[in-house]
Amino acid sequence: MQFPKTIAIGADHAGFEFKSSLILYLQELNIEVTDFGTYSKDSVDYPDYVHPACKYIEDGHCEFGILICGSANGVAMTANKHQKIRAALCWDNEISLLARQHNDANIVCIPARFITLEHAKEIVNTFLSTDFEGGRHQNRVNKIACC
């Protein structure tokens, strides 16, 4: 798989620094980034940034997204309320790989308080460069949405 041309990104205050660095990293890979905020380390509510990023993906403006908060649990839970989103909390390369290969995840959720920025870059790279395997996994993925 080649890297996508565009990607959505969002974070809360705990993920702001990672988000800023990941945007620069993605731009070095010639990926256009649509930034849904936040734009500082001031305390915010992560759903205010997650929902617009997910809607952007659901509306077909891009295929993939990155969401970042302290544990990544909040952004993942919020994102997964959207029917066309399969957000995976990834703290390891192998989990990122399997989230794409087996689950056709379209958003990677990064726990900024538990991994290094370099590890986050590796996870994002793995996520964005891995294809969904389909096959036996497709039937399972088809059963995820509740509508």
Active-site residues: which are they? 69, 102
Q: Count other Cβ atoms within 10 Å, centred on residue 60.
A: 8
